[in-house]
Amino acid sequence: MQFHDLGLDGPVRIELERRGDDRGFFARLFCAEEFRQKNLKHDWVQVNNSLTESKGTIRGLHFQRPPFAEVKLVRCVRGAIFDVAVDLRHGSPTYGQWRGVELTSENRSMLYIPEGFGHGFQALTDDSEIIYFNSAVYAPDLEGGLKFDDDSVAIDWPMPAIGLSDRDSRLPNLAGLKPILLPSD
């Protein structure tokens, strides 16, 4: 696997190293030793599958608060998405900054999103399907979110937004978000 820092002290784009021949290829999606060497958390306790039917649909930006703050590892297995991580860690030098990467079934890249980051994506094709690993179980009382079109964050979404859920349309802007305080490592 190849790990590419995205400049926000945490999120990483991961490219698979394919080994193949005329039959196809083999690639590791996860290796505990390589994640440990990169100081990336990797204690997965839940794996989710999401299908978004219409291109342009935005899901997120979501997170969970401690003690159920979660790390996510996201891969698109059908179609294409623009996957986004926003630094929501109170006191972080990159607080409020975001990075986005295109994840497709063809490029097979993944996005690692650490604790304290909001996560969301926009479907770039109809019937975009993702699988993502989580380091914490779903805790509805500790979930939170950030409005996808907050001007102070200014995410450059690739296309006009459609299909926003009622819940996501009511999420606060960064200024109205209760700070996320993570325990010291």
Q: Give 180 or 72, the one with higher predicted confidence.
A: 72
Ordered by start, the domain boundaries in the chain are 43-176
Q: In 3D, which of 70, 69, 128 has the Cα closest to residue 104?
A: 128
Please report, rounded to a whole number, the percentage of residues in the chain having pLDDT higher than 70.
98
pLDDT computed for residue 15 by the predictor? 93
Q: What is the mean pLDDT of the chain?
A: 93
Local confidence band at 147 (pLDDT 50, 70, 90 cut-offs): very high
Per-residue pLDDT tens over the stretch 73-132: 999 999 999 999 999 998 899 999 999 999 999 999 999 999 999 999 999 999 999 999
| pLDDT exceeds 60 at position 52 | yes
Active-site residue among 4, 42, 62, 90? 62
Q: What is the pTM of this model?
A: 0.92
Q: Is the pLDDT of residue 22 over 50?
A: yes
pLDDT grade, residue 183 (50/70/90)? low
pLDDT digits (tens, 9 = 90+) for 23-38: 888 888 898 999 999 9
> Which residue among the candidates 4, 90, 132, 138 is catalytic per the annotation?
132
95 is catalytic: no
State yes or no: is 132 an active-site residue. yes
- CA–CA separation, 142 vs 165, rounded Å? 19
For residue 67, whether the previous peptide bond is cis, meaning omega lies within 30 degrees of 0, is yes
Looking at residue 9, its pLDDT comes to 87
Structure tokens at 119: 């996560």
User: Residue 184: which pLDDT band, with cuts at 50, 70 and 90?
Assistant: low
**Which candidate, 75, 76, 82, places its Cα nearest to that of 58?**
82
Omega prior to 61 cis, within 30 of 0: yes
* Residue 185, pLDDT above cutoff 60: no
* Rounded-to-integer distance, Cα 94 and Cα 80, Å: 27
Determine the pLDDT at residue 85: 97
- Cβ–Cβ < 8 Å for 46, 134: yes
Query: Given this structure, which CATH class describes domain 43-176?
Result: mainly beta
